[in-house]
Amino acid sequence: MGSSLKTIPLRNLTRSKANVRKTYPTAAIEELAASILAHGLLENLVVAPLASKRGSKTKRFGVAAGGRRLAALQLLAKRRKIKRTYPVACQIRSSSDDALGELSLAENVERVSLHPADQFEAFAKLQAQGHSAGEIGSRFGVTDTFVVQRLKLAAVSPKLLGLYRKDEMTLEQLMAFTVSDDQAAQEEVWFGLPYKDPAPDLIRQYLTRSQVHGRDRRALFIGPKAYEAAGGEIVRDLFQEEGEGYFKDSQLLDRLVAAKLDGEAQAIKGEGWSWVEVATELDYERLARFGRAKATEQALPAKEEKRVKSLSKRYDDLVSALEDQEDPKAEAELAQVSGELDTLLAKKTVWSEREKQRSGALIGIDQDGQLKVVRGLIRPEERKRSERQDERPKSAQQSGGYSDTLLADLTAHRSAALRELLADNPQASLTALLKVLVERMLLREGRLTCVGITPTEAVLEAHAKSLGESKASAAFLKRHAGWQERIPTREGLWDWLSGLKQADRLALLAHCVSMTVDAVARRAGSEERLRDSETLAQALSLDMADWWRPTTANFLGAVTKEQIVSAVSEALSPQETQRLSALKKAEMAERAEQLLANTRWLPEPLRPNAALPGAEDADLKQAAE
């Protein structure tokens, strides 16, 4: 196959049908165009002369090898970076289409791509020569961020880079080491881990053990600007877009949080509350035990009322849109709209000075790093004191001077009459039932009433310390607080309940009844209750995977290493457990929490139709009877 070298004007070149590569990624063309513009064409094109339809010779040539280079040159010409007469160095071949196709295939198959580590180090050398990331990027057609990421990888320990070159470490693992500039610490983590092939997340976790992740509620509350202005340093992970970096000085961050919360607390104290307490994390269990002071609504100025209506409509529109598809811009707008709406609605709610004197406020940070203030809270001990003060001693005149025996006789007849009238009036019966439930469950009054129903609230938090931050507890607290804010004092309760719409009456009934549910397994005496809870669960189509996932706090920290391994093996695969087996208990639990996060795995007691504790003994007892 003969060949000769010659420069051919770009306008006389076209892609040959013999070229086996048919697809060129746009990004690859852009990068090559930038490189050709900066460094020139570094490799000749292989071409063959083209004949006209009649078979006569023409000035045009088909490119059999070098189609991407031709596309890059044509892109430069289209952008008027070079002329269409640009001389292109070509190697001319005179052969058949089959031979040219084989030549094109050989060029593409035999090509060996540059090892990524070589690219990292080459970029680092250019930087050492004084070139900025922007200059390097423009010369090779890549973004500044791409160059900065590669420079960060080039700064990883040479020993670890050597392992990457030998394929003893993955690129994802190498990327994880960039969260720390300490090469000694990088080597200590890799060579000090008790097992091979650690997950990238575990590497990051070890390298940032003394730091606070940027998604931590404290970091979100203070923000990177304020933290850095106070002298703090943030280590940013260039390879995780959703990350906000790691705040290196946790003690500085805690001091900033305390100072900011204290300032907010002083402002709220000035509103006239008898007490204001600060808690970095508002505990749902604690909040649920407070009573609520009676608040009233006031009208806002016309302009603000109009704004509330506008924001409410926009809020509903955004929520509906986000139900169909995710949209980061819409989510950001929803957060802004929600915050402004909450501020305006808070101005509508007011408490009397008397209510403020017997109640206070809790201040903390929610999971999104936003300031959260709960006003109008009555401490449990204050609520009991008020109940005692409300009780009035019975006057002797109330009996009309009758003997106790006669008084009991007369009122027994009155009770019988009330029974009959109540039995014939379902609506009044529902109101009477609700009154008992509301007084006990929402007003927290334990006094006796004429309707002898005694609801007992199941205090589930006594059995699960991790319950406070659960999805179910959050939903309960929101609903409970909503009802507490709506109900009036005890004196006006009957009229208020009677005036409720039927749907609201039933919703309130369901809420109060739900507070009595107790399906907690105990050592003795819970068999029938647990069997009954399974019937209720089936009727409600309960799937605990919607409400619970295994964490170190609620499960993994309380079971054995063997049980953790068994859970991961069951949820994922036995292969995943190989990486866990050599870890210490605490580290194993943390890693297992990450692995199980999206699996919907449940322990046996939480699965449908589970074998409940004590159920087997109950079955044996029934069989014996």
Using 50, 70 and 90 to split pLDDT, how confident is the model at 96? low
What pLDDT score was predicted for residue 353? 87
What pLDDT score was predicted for residue 100? 63
Using 50, 70 and 90 to split pLDDT, how confident is the model at 345? confident
Please enumerate in sequence order all residues whose Cβ is within 8 A of that of 92, keeping only pairs 6 or more positions apart, or say none.
3, 4, 5, 6, 47, 48, 49, 61
Tell me if 221 sits within 8 A of 260, measured CB to CB. Answer: yes
Asked whether residue 118 carries a pLDDT value surpassing 80, the answer given is: no
Higher pLDDT, 231 or 243: 231
Q: Which tokens is 271 given? A: 């509103």
Strand partners, 281: 365
CA distance from start to end of the chain: 99
Average pLDDT over residues 43-59: 78
What pLDDT score was predicted for residue 241? 53
Stated as kind and residue range, the H or E segment containing 6 is: strand 3-9
C-beta neighbour count of 242 within 10 angstroms = 7
Most confident of 278-282, 465-469, 615-619: 278-282
Q: What is the dihedral of CA 424, 427, 428, 429, to 10 degrees?
A: 70
Please enumerate in sequence order all residues whose Cβ is within 8 A of that of 157, keeping only pairs 6 or more positions apart, or say none.
177, 183, 184, 186, 187
Q: What is the DSSP letter of 193?
A: S
Pairing of strands 57-65, 45-51: antiparallel
What pLDDT score was predicted for residue 591? 85
SS3 365: strand
Give me the percent of the chain exceeding a pLDDT of 90.
2
Average pLDDT over residues 581-605: 84
Using 50, 70 and 90 to split pLDDT, how confident is the model at 619? very low
Q: Phi and psi of 560, rounded to 5°?
A: -80, 165
Weakest-pLDDT range from 339-353, 362-376, 393-407, 449-463: 393-407
Q: Which tokens is 270 given? A: 């000035």
Q: Which tokens is 272 given? A: 């006239």
What pLDDT score was predicted for residue 207? 79
Using 50, 70 and 90 to split pLDDT, how confident is the model at 25? low
Helix and strand counts by DSSP (H, E) for the chain: 28, 14
pTM of the complete model: 0.48
Please state, in angstroms and rounded to a whole number, the distance separating the CA atoms of residues 82 and 74: 9
Tell me if 437 sits within 8 A of 455, measured CB to CB. Answer: yes
Weakest-pLDDT range from 39-53, 162-176, 396-410: 396-410
Residue with token string 């609801």: 455
Average pLDDT over residues 292-312: 84
What pLDDT score was predicted for residue 422? 66
Higher pLDDT, 212 or 401: 212
**DSSP states along 333-355:** HHHHHHHHHHHHHHHHEEE-HHH
Q: What is the pLDDT of residues 202-211, one digit of tens each?
A: 787 777 777 8
Q: What is the pLDDT of residues 58-95, one digit of tens each?
A: 788 888 888 888 888 988 898 888 888 898 888 888 76
Q: Which tokens is 497 given? A: 């309940």
Asked whether residue 112 carries a pLDDT value surpassing 80, the answer given is: no
Asked whether residue 176 carries a pLDDT value surpassing 70, the answer given is: yes
Using 50, 70 and 90 to split pLDDT, how confident is the model at 545? confident
Please state, in angstroms and rounded to a whole number, the distance separating the CA atoms of residues 123 and 146: 11
Asked whether residue 622 carries a pLDDT value surpassing 50, the answer given is: no
Asked whether residue 171 carries a pLDDT value surpassing 60, the answer given is: yes
* Burial of 156 per CB tally in 10 Å (0-12, 13-18, 19+): buried
CA pseudo-torsion sign 124, 128, 133, 134: negative
What pLDDT score was predicted for residue 474? 77
Give me the percent of the chain exceeding a pLDDT of 70.
78
Higher pLDDT, 493 or 456: 493
What pLDDT score was predicted for residue 393? 46
Nearest alpha carbon to residue 529 among 538, 513, 511, 517: 517
SS3 10: helix
Average pLDDT over residues 176-189: 82
Q: Within a 13 Å sphere around the CA of 82, how many CA atoms are in the beta-carbon half?
A: 22
What pLDDT score was predicted for residue 398? 45
Stated as kind and residue range, the H or E segment containing 240 is: none
* Burial of 543 per CB tally in 10 Å (0-12, 13-18, 19+): middle
pLDDT, averaged across the chain: 77
Q: What is the pLDDT of residues 370-429, one digit of tens each?
A: 888 888 888 877 765 655 555 444 444 444 555 666 666 666 676 666 666 766 777 777
Tell me if 507 sits within 8 A of 480, measured CB to CB. Answer: no
What pLDDT score was predicted for residue 402? 58
Average pLDDT over residues 486-510: 85
Please state, in angstroms and rounded to a whole number, the distance separating the CA atoms of residues 453 and 435: 10
3-state secondary structure labels for all residues of 291-331: EECCEEECCCCHHHHHHHHHHHHHHHHHHHHHHHCCCHHHH
SS3 189: helix
What pLDDT score was predicted for residue 527? 73
Asked whether residue 24 carries a pLDDT value surpassing 70, the answer given is: no
Q: Phi and psi of 94, rounded to 5°?
A: -115, 100
What pLDDT score was predicted for residue 204? 78
What pLDDT score was predicted for residue 217? 83
Asked whether residue 271 carries a pLDDT value surpassing 80, the answer given is: yes
Please state, in angstroms and rounded to a whole number, the distance separating the CA atoms of residues 68 and 88: 14
CA angle centred on 352, ends 349 and 358, rounded to 5°: 110
Q: Which tokens is 145 given? A: 């961020």
